[in-house]
Amino acid sequence: MLALNTFHRKDTKDRMTITESAVAQRIRRKLRNTGHMLRKARGERQLVEAGRYYVIDTNLNTDHLLHVNIEAYARELGVLRAHESVAD
C-alpha cells in the first residue's frame, strides 16, 4: 500500500529543478530553425540595454525580444514542463 501512495503524490515540493543553462539550451534547440537565436549578455552595458537573456533575429541581424524571462519564455515555447522549475 505504501508503494501506491508514492506514485500519486501531487506536492509542489516535488518539482524538478533544471539549471538555467539547460533551459537556455532547450530554448536554443527549439529556436534553431526559426531564424531566431537566444543570446546571453556578456557585459555590463549589454546587460543594462538588452537584459540577461535576449532573442535576436538572425535573418535581419536585429533584436527580436529584449529582457527575456527565461522561465516564462521556456514555458511559452513548451520546452519547460509543468513539474519543472528553473534553479536560481
For residue 13, name the pLDDT band (cuts at 50, 70, 90): low
Tell me, what's the pLDDT at 38?
97
Side-chain-side CA neighbours of 31 within 13 Å: the count stands at 23
Mean pLDDT of 24-41: 96
Per-residue pLDDT averaged across 54-69, rounded? 95
Strand-pair category, 62-65 with 53-57? antiparallel
On average, the pLDDT of the chain sits at 88
